[in-house]
Chain A
Amino acid sequence: MLPDNETRINDSAELWLDQAVTRYESDSSRLLQILHEVQERFGHISQQATGILAEKLDIPRARIESVASFYSFLHLKPHGEYRVLFSDNITDRMLGSEALMEQMCQLLWLQPGKVSEDGLVSINTTSCTGMCDQGPAMLVNGRAITRLSHQRVQEIAQLIRNRTPLADWPADFFRVEDNIRRSGLLLGNTLAYGEVLHAAVTAGAQQIVEVVKASGLRGRGGAGFPTGQKWEACRNAPGKEHYVVCNADEGEPGTFKDRVLLTRQADLVFEGMTLCALAVGASKGFLYLRGEYRYLLEPLHAVLQRRRDSNLLGISILGKPGFDFDIEIHLGAGAYICGEESALIESLEGKRGVPRSRPPFPVTHGYMQQPTAVDNVETFCQAALAVQMGAEKYRAIGTEKSSGSKLVSVSGDCAYPGIYEYPFGVTVREILQDCGAVNTRAVQISGPSGVCVPENEFNRKLGFEDLPTAGAFMVFDDSRDMFEVARNYVHFFAHESCGFCTPCRVGTSMLKQTMDKIANGHGTKHDLREIDKLDRVLQNTSHCGLGRTACNPVLHTLKHFRPAYENRLKSLDFKPAFDLDGSLARARQMTGRDDAGAHLKETE
Chain B
Amino acid sequence: MSKKLRVATTSLAGCFGCHMSFLDIDERLLTLLDLVEFDRSPINDIKHCGPCDIGIIEGGVCNAENVHVLREFRKNCKIIIAIGACAINGGLPAQRNHLDLASCLTEVYLTEPGLAHGHIPNDPELPLPLDKVHPLYEVVKIDYYIPGCPPSGDAIWKFLTDLIAGRTPELGHGLIKYD
- Chain A contacts of B102 at CB under 8 A? 586, 589-590
Interface string of B66-79 (1 = CB under 8 A from A): 01000100010000
With the chains together, A576 CA to B129 CA distance in Å?
17
Q: Which residues of A contact B (CB under 8 A)?
A: 502, 526, 573-574, 576-578, 580, 583-593, 595, 597-598, 600, 604
For residue B105, CB closer than 8 A to chain A, the reply is yes
- Among B64, B122, B130, B140, contact of A574 (Cβ-Cβ < 8 Å): B140
| CB nearest neighbor in B for A578 | B138
Q: Is the CB of B124 within 8 A of A587?
A: no
Bound form: Cα–Cα A600–B131 in Å: 13
| Chain B residue, CB-CB nearest to A526 | B141
> Are B134 and A577 neighbours in the complex by a CB distance under 8 Å?
yes
Q: Is B33 interfacial (CB-CB < 8 Å)?
A: no
B131 with A585: CB separation less than 8 A? yes
Most buried by B among A502, A592, A595, A600: A600
Contact A584 B138 (CB under 8 A): no
What are 22 residue pairs bridging A and B, where the CB atoms are less than 8 Å apart in the complex?
A502-B178, A573-B141, A574-B140, A576-B140, A577-B134, A577-B139, A578-B134, A583-B130, A583-B131, A583-B132, A584-B131, A585-B131, A586-B100, A586-B101, A587-B105, A587-B131, A590-B105, A591-B122, A591-B128, A593-B124, A593-B128, A598-B64
Q: Given A586-B100, A586-B131, list of 19 further CB < 8 A pairs? A: A573-B141, A576-B139, A576-B140, A577-B137, A578-B138, A580-B139, A584-B128, A584-B131, A585-B131, A586-B102, A590-B102, A591-B120, A591-B122, A591-B128, A593-B122, A597-B64, A597-B128, A600-B67, A604-B75
Choose among B71, B121, B130 the residue that contacts A591 (Cβ–Cβ < 8 A).
B121
Q: A577-B134, A580-B67, A587-B101 are in contact. Are A598 and B75 (CB under 8 A)?
A: no
In the complex, whether B127 has a CB less than 8 A from a CB of chain A is yes
Q: Are B124 and A595 in contact, with the CB atoms below 8 A?
A: yes
Chain A at the B interface: mostly helix, strand, loop or mixed?
Answer: helix
Are A584 and B130 in contact (CB-based, < 8 A)? yes
Chain A residues with Cβ below 8 Å from B131 are 583-587
Contact mask B86-124 → A, CB, 8 Å, 1/0? 000000000000001110011000000000000011101
Q: Give the contacting residue for B120; candidates A584, A585, A590; CB below 8 A.
A: A590
Contacts of B178 in A (CB 8 A): 502
- Chain A min CB distance to B76 (Å): 12
Known contacts A574-B140, A576-B139, A593-B122; A588 and B75 CB within 8 A of each other: no
| 9 shortest interchain CB distances as A-B pairs | A577-B138, A591-B122, A587-B128, A574-B141, A583-B130, A586-B131, A586-B101, A583-B131, A595-B124
Q: Mark B127-151, 1 if CB is under 8 A from A, else 0.
A: 1111110100111110000000000
B122 surroundings in chain A (CB, below 8 A)? 591-593
CA separation between A597 and B120, bound complex, in Å? 16
Q: Which residue of B lies closest to A595 (CB)?
A: B124
Chain B residues at the A interface, C-beta cutoff of 8 Å: 64, 67, 71, 75, 100-102, 105-106, 120-122, 124, 127-132, 134, 137-141, 178
Within the complex, the shortest CB–CB distance from B170 to chain A, in Å, comes to: 15
Q: Give the distance in Å from the alpha carbon of A449 to the alpha carbon of B137 in the complex.
A: 28
Q: Could you say which of A526, A580, A590 contacts B101, with CB atoms under 8 Å apart? A: A590
Contacts of B134 in A (CB 8 A): 577-578
Closest to A598 in B: B128
Chain A residue at minimum C-beta to C-beta distance from B140: A574
- List A contacts of B127 (CB < 8 A): 597
- Alpha-carbon separation in the docked complex, A583 to B137 (Å): 16
Q: How far is the CA of A27 from the CA of B129 in the complex (A)?
A: 54
A576 touches B121 (CB 8 A): no
CB distance from A279 to the nearest CB of B (A): 46
A173 to B93, CA, bound (A): 49
Q: Closest approach, in angstroms, between the C-beta of A521 and any C-beta of chain B?
A: 15
Q: How far is the CB of B155 from chain A (nearest CB, A)?
A: 18
The docked-state distance in angstroms from the alpha carbon of A526 to that of B141 is 8
Residues in B with CB closer than 8 Å to A586 are 100-102, 131
Q: Which residues of A contact B139 (CB under 8 A)?
A: 576-577, 580
- Chain B's closest residue to A582 (CB) is B131
| Chain B hits for A502, CB < 8 A | 178
Q: Report the minimal beta-carbon distance from B7 to chain A, rounded to whole angstroms.
A: 22
By beta carbon, the residue of chain A nearest B75 is: A604
Closest Cβ–Cβ distance, residue A425 to chain B (whole Å): 47
Bound state CA distance, A526 and B140, in angstroms? 11
Min CB distance A101 to B, Å, is 24
Contacts of B100 in A (CB 8 A): 586
Q: Which residues of B contact A574 (CB under 8 A)?
A: 140-141
- Shortest C-beta distance, A591 to chain B (Å), equals 4
| A600 partner residues in chain B, CB cutoff 8 A | 64, 67
Q: How far is the CB of A512 from chain B (nearest CB, A)?
A: 14
Chain A residue contacts of B130, Cβ below 8 A: 580, 583-584, 587
Determine which of B101, B120, B138 lies in contact with A576 in the assembled complex, contact meaning CB atoms within 8 Å: B138
Complexed CA–CA distance, A591 and B105 (Å): 9
- Which of A578, A584, A585, A598 contacts B124, CB < 8 Å? A598
Q: Shortest CB–CB separation between residue A526 and chain B, in angstroms? A: 6
Q: Closest residue of chain B to A599, judged by CB?
A: B64
A585 to chain B, nearest CB (A): 7
Complex CA gap A591/B178 in Å reads 37
